[in-house]
Amino acid sequence: MTSKQHTAEHGSQLEQVNGFTNPGIPEHKPRVTDSSPAAERMAERQIAGWFILSMIGTLWFIVSYFLFPIEDGSMGSIRLQNAMLGLGATLALFSIGVGIVLWAKTLITDVEVVESRHDIAGSEEDQAIALEIINQAKEESGIARRPLLRNTLIAAVAIAPLPALLVFRDLGPLPGDSLFKTLWGPGVRLVQDPGMVPHEDRYIRAEDVTIGSAFHVIPEKMYESEHPLNEKAKAAVLLMRIDPQELNTDPAKEDWGVDGIVAYSKICTHVGCPVALYEHQTHHLLCPCHQSTFDVTNHCAVIFGPAKRPLPQLPIAVDDEGYLVAQRDFVDPVGPTFWEINTRETSEQ
């Protein structure tokens, strides 16, 4: 609250602040409306015009509510009414805003004004009073004279958050080996993913998987497990049949497929999107999220994109009744890489 308030001497305060010259306020240039009464009247009419337009918008809203009724919930009439009401409301509100802004810009005085901030520090008088209050409190509470009270209080406050740390345990059990294991296991039949809770599992015969086919597969009895969707997020598999001559099979994985039928995890090794865009002529599997591309003929090696590991292959076989079954769980962990991925030898079981 000093005498600096409300001063505006254009270009006169050339003072040095932090090594920079303060250029001051630019010269005030009068507007057309300041000098020409005709322009002023024109601006006034314009602004009034915007306010009148706003009234028209409001009236249009009311009129169109009756002019464009909703007929039997027909989508076309709902859309027409929405568009017309929206047009009215937009005109009504937007025009008021434009009018006010125009008013401020053309008619209200635009002479620059400087209004200084008050000092950040309080006055010496206030500071002295505050210090006095603190000293008084120190004296009356005796906190300096009674170290036992002071120290026990500090200790009590310090350990008070510990229970909160304890209840973090209730956020859930540690993942344990759940990142390494899925519902697949020896003899688990492959069933078709029905896209919804099925009446019964549809098993898959090897003969049904013709060349060029792609089956979206889940483990049998998945919907009877405790958390079916959690299980599906790990166990989903894409089953394809490719001419065995086109497959470059790793000798160590020779018996992981059945006569050209191969099964790969559908969970991308990048961030876990379902990799299911299968091109049956190029044998490329494409992930829709980040375009990681896997070559099915080379054990789903990554040929493009951000994924770092090939899609894990599910070793499959045919059981006595001719249905496709898993030989065992995935050898490599499915899905995105995680910190502990190398903490376990994958060759157990």
Which spans of this chain sit near another protein (rule: CB under 8 A)? Answer: 31-33, 46, 75-76, 78-79, 82-83, 86-87, 90, 94, 98, 101-102, 105-106, 110, 192-196, 204-205, 208-216, 240, 274, 276-282, 284, 286, 288, 291, 293, 304
SS3 of residue 254 by DSSP: helix
Task: Give the nearer residue to another protein in terms of CB position, either 185 or 306.
Answer: 306
Q: Is the dihedral of CA 57, 59, 64, 67 positive or negative?
A: negative
Nearest to another protein of 47, 188 (CB atom): 47
Of the pair 180, 278, the CB lying nearest another protein is at 278
Nearest approach, Cβ of residue 133 and another protein (Å): 46
- Strands ordered across the beta sheet of 293-295: 277-279, 284-286, 293-295, 301-304
Indicate the SS3 state at residue 346: coil
Task: Name the residue nearer to another protein (CB basis): 255 or 279.
Answer: 279
**CB of residue 243 vs another protein: minimum separation in angstroms?**
12
Quote the distance between the C-alpha of residue 277 and its chain's center.
24
User: What's the rounded Cα separation, in Å, for the pair 83 and 64?
Assistant: 10
Considering the complex, what minimum distance in angstroms separates the CB of residue 181 from another protein?
24
Q: State the nearest-atom distance from the C-beta of 329 to another protein, in Å.
A: 23
Q: Which is nearer to another protein, 32 or 67 (CB)?
A: 32
Structural tokens at position 59? 């009236």
Q: Which two tokens stand for residue 151?
A: 């120290």
Q: What is the 3-state secondary structure (H, E, C) of 97-112?
A: HHHHHHHHHHCCCCCC
Closest distance of CB 287 from another protein, Å: 9
